[in-house]
Structure formats: C-alpha cells, structure tokens
C-alpha cells in the first residue's frame, strides 16, 4: 500500500493556483491558526504533502491532481475539518518550499521540509507545532479516506495505533509494505515487499499510512529514527519498531477494505480513484431521484447539485459549479460548467453551457449551441447552431439557427441585450454592444450593429439581384478555363 520509498518529499513549482474555499465541502473555510495560540487541543493532524509525484510524469504536483474537479489535498484537509474544529486541533501540512503559500493550504498551517529526507524527517519538522494530546498522521495523496475511518482510529483508545487494509486478491503482487502481526494479532513489524520472504508476501494486510500517536510519545521518540542505509532517508515506519523496542504497544486496526486507503502514485492510480468517486456521486443522485440513462457515461463534479426528477442522458460531462433544478433534461453529449439550469429546461444534445450562465425555466437549448456568461429567460429558445456570449435574453425570445453574438472586439468583451418575445432570424450576426427591444424582429441573414427599438423589424443585408440566363454562361466559362467539360 504505502511503500516508504514512494513517500519522499520534493520541490515543486506552484503551477495550479486554487482557492480552498471553493473546494470546501461546506463552501467555507477556517482562517489559518496562529501558531502561537495558547491552550492544549485534543487532536492535531499532520498531512504529509511533499511527495514529488515523479511517477505521474506530470508538471502538476501530485497533490494538486483532481478527482471529480477537486484537488487531492482538499479531500484530505476537508476530511480533517469534519472531525475537528479550529479550537479542537490544528491541521498541519508539511510541504516543500515552493508551495508553502499555495492557496489550497489557506485553512491549514504549512510547515516547510527544506529537502527531501523521507517521511520521518517530514513529521519531525511538524513536531514543534504540535499542541495536542494526540497526533494523527496521514498523506495528501490518499483522498478516499473518510472521516469515519479516522474516527475509528481516534476511538481505538491505545497510545499508538495505525490502520492496515486488506489487499484485494487480484492485487497481491503489488509491491505494498506488509503488516506482520503474531498469532495474538499483536504488531511485529512492517516489511517492505522487496525485503519480504514468500510467507510475508502472502500476508494480505498492507500499511495504510494513517497513524495515531500520543503526542508526548511522538515528541519523545521521533528523533530516534536513523537514516536508511540505502537511501539515507528517515522512514516513519521505523518509528513503530522503535515503539515496540521501548515497550510501547502498537495497535493494528485491520480493515477488510482497500479502496478507502488507495494511494495515488501514478495516473493509473488516479484513474481508479476517479472511477470510485464518480460511482459514489452517481449512486448519490440516483438514490435521490435523478434519472441517469447510462450512469457509467455520466461524469459529475464534487460540488454538482441536481434536484429530483432531472433526466441526464448518455455521455454528459458536468464540471465544477453546476446546479440543475427539478424537471430539467440534459440530453446526450452535452458539456456543462459553472452554470445554473432552472426548472424544466432542456439542454442538448451536443450543447456546451459555459461559465456564469443561467438558463431560465422551460428554456430550450438545442444541438450545437454554445452559451457563455449569459442569462437566458424563461421559455426562450436557442435550438441549433448558435453562439450566445455575454448576453441577456428575455423570456419567450427565439434565436434562429446560425446566429451569433459578436462579443469580442479584439481587446474587450461587450454585452448583447435582447428583450422579451423577440424573434432573431437564422444566420444573424449581432455586433455588441447592442440592445434589441421587446417584441422586435431581426430578419434572417442580417448583420446588426445598431440598437433595435421595441416592436421594430430590423433588416441589414445586401439586396438580392436575379440575373436571367446568367448561370449557364458562367458555368460554360468555368469549364473552358479548367479544360474540363465533364462536369
């Protein structure tokens, strides 16, 4: 599960700026705790958040990779917040220097590990800030662990305990460190897979990497860890052996489940975790009355809100910040992000609804329509092949096929305002900034760059000319020029 050789810290570039508030489960975050605040707390959490993630082969630090639109580190920090308030304990993230001020850590204390010297060294840097009875240590790349798992650790009653998880039968060959216990289920050691014999490799329990240690014991013995002879790193797992050698019992909490403790070391690991999170979200919504026609091909975000009686068809992608209200229908192959879909609205198929968009109740957005930063009024219709950006459409307005709002002048974006019960014909270009009034009409094929008053018909197109018998003459000339008479 958690091989110590994969728990090395490194130096990152801060390449994925974020805001802890928008990723929080409740939408709010606590302020950073003053390290000098007095008063002993019950529990401190130490999150080891410095792994260099080289096996993902990505420029984005591993802990900033996302599951359902939420960075891995935010899953872990938010889980800790579910257990303790700011008054009850601290959340301390041990990080490499270049990410210490990253916004994703804004509601935790960041402690810098100057150089990658292993997990034991990382914890040592957090010890001076501990001011609690108990310390829980966990990893930033284990996002599926829930508060109930941490609570079982805290309720164990022992001074030192950790979680061991059962390895699935089809993953027994994975190089996870094995947790060895005696016949009385007493902890003996953690052995790395490469150093394990065949009997030890057959042990089905792996180290989850989640520990609870009485703070006084942690402070007393953390300095006894010696560097590994091969890597010169300080491994936190060695601390368990030190406890046993000094007569401190180590409790092993065995869990017959693996996936809540699944660590993200590669993009394959990330994909497996994504599948788990997506399935949880799908089940949550289906159990609350949302109809998913093909659940495995609907992708949701951690903060998606969907009312009952909503239907979502196949191959729909819903990104962060989407709310879908009662009775709405999202048809196949549509892509939604940062938008509100109101009651009984219809979207798609093949529609893209972008940021800061509100689709009014009973509005209809059809195939190959893109909408961005727009408010679409009640019962308005944009049924096909249109782009509506930086716009306001009143209720009962109809936008014809091929119509676009020309919102960008090369420097700035401009607004288009269209009133209620207005008809925009097919293949129109509305050059913003522009206002079109209520009960107005714009003729098909028009290029509109002046405001249109209420109840006005606007036409802007070149007059049509019909030249009798001219077509055969033009065709014959083209044939002669090309040398090809077999048209």
Q: Which residues belong to the active site?
A: 384
Q: What angle do CA 29, 49, 75 make, to 5 degrees?
A: 45
Contact 440, 448 (CB under 8 A): no
Neighbours of 47 (CB within 10 A): 29
Neighbours of 258 (CB within 10 A): 19
Tell me the C-alpha distance between 237 and 286, whole Å. 42
Tell me the C-alpha distance between 344 and 330, whole Å. 10
Tell me the C-alpha distance between 313 and 299, whole Å. 11
Tell me the C-alpha distance between 361 and 163, whole Å. 50
Helix (H) or strand (E) holding 20: helix 20-23
Of 401, 366, 399, which Cα lies nearest the Cα of 380? 399
Tell me the C-alpha distance between 1 and 166, whole Å. 9
Contact 417, 400 (CB under 8 A): no
Helix (H) or strand (E) holding 457: strand 457-458
Residue 71 Cα distances to 26, 144, 149, 241, 441, angstroms? 15, 12, 20, 33, 48
* DSSP result, 307-370: -TT-EE-SSEEE-SS-EE-TT-EE-TT-EE-SEEE-TT-EE-SS-EE-TTEEEPTT-EEEEEEE
Residue 358 Cα distances to 169, 217, 267, 298, angstroms? 48, 56, 35, 21
Q: Which two tokens stand for residue 266?
A: 């590669």
How many residues are there in the chain? 487
Give 438: exposed, middle or buried? Use CB within 10 Å, 0-12, 13-18, 19+.
middle
Neighbours of 245 (CB within 10 A): 10
Contact 361, 343 (CB under 8 A): yes
Tell me the C-alpha distance between 71 and 38, whole Å. 32
Tell me the C-alpha distance between 374 and 127, whole Å. 51
Tell me the C-alpha distance between 405 and 345, whole Å. 22
């Amino acid at each position: 599960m958690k091989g110590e050789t994969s728990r090395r810290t490194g130096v990152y570039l801060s390449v994925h700026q974020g805001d802890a508030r928008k990723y929080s489960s409740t939408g709010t975050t606590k302020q950073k705790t003053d390290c000098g605040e007095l008063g002993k707390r019950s529990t401190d959490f130490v999150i080891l958040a410095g792994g260099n993630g080289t096996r993902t082969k990505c420029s984005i630090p591993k802990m900033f990779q996302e599951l359902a639109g939420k960075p891995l580190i935010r899953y872990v920090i938010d889980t800790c917040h579910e257990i303790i308030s700011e008054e009850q304990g601290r959340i301390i993230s041990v990080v490499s220097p270049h990410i210490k001020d990253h916004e994703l850590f804004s509601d935790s204390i960041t402690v810098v590990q100057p150089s990658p010297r292993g997990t034991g060294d990382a914890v040592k840097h957090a010890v001076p800030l501990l001011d609690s009875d108990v310390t829980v240590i966990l990893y930033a790349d284990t996002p599926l662990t829930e508060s109930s798992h941490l609570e079982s650790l805290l309720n164990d009653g022992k001074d030192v305990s950790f979680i061991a998880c059962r390895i699935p039968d089809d993953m027994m060959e994975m190089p996870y460190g094995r947790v060895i216990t005696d016949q009385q289920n007493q902890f003996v050691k953690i052995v790395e897979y490469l150093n394990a014999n065949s009997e030890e490799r057959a042990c089905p329990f792996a180290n989850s990497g989640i520990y609870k240690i009485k703070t006084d014991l942690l402070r007393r013995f953390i300095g006894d860890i010696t560097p590994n002879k091969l890597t010169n790193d300080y491994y936190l797992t060695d601390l368990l052996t030190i406890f046993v050698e000094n007569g401190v019992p180590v409790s092993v909490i065995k869990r017959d489940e693996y996936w809540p403790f699944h660590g993200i070391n590669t993009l394959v690991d990330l994909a497996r975790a994504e599948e788990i999170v997506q399935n949880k979200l799908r089940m949550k919504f289906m159990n609350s009355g949302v109809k998913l026609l093909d659940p495995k091909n609907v992708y949701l975000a951690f903060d998606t809100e969907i009312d009952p009686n909503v239907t979502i068809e196949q191959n729909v992608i819903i990104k962060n910040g989407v709310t879908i209200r009662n009775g709405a229908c999202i048809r196949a192959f549509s892509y939604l992000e940062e938008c509100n879909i109101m009651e009984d609205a219809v979207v798609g198929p093949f529609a893209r609804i972008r940021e800061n968009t509100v689709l009014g109740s009973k509005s209809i957005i059809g195939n190959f329509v893109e909408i961005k930063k727009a408010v679409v009024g009640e019962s308005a219709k944009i049924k096909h092949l249109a782009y509506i950006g930086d716009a306001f459409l009143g209720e009962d307005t109809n936008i014809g096929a091929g119509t676009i709002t020309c919102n960008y002048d090369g420097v700035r974006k401009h607004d288009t305002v269209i009133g209620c019960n207005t008809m925009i014909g097919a293949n129109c270009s509305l050059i913003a900034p522009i206002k079109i009034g209520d009960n107005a009409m714009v003729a098909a094929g028009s290029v509109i760059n002046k405001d249109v008053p209420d109840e006005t018909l606007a036409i802007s197109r070149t007059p049509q000319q019909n030249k009798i018998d001219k077509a055969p003459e033009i065709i014959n000339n083209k044939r002669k020029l090309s040398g090809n008479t077999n048209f």
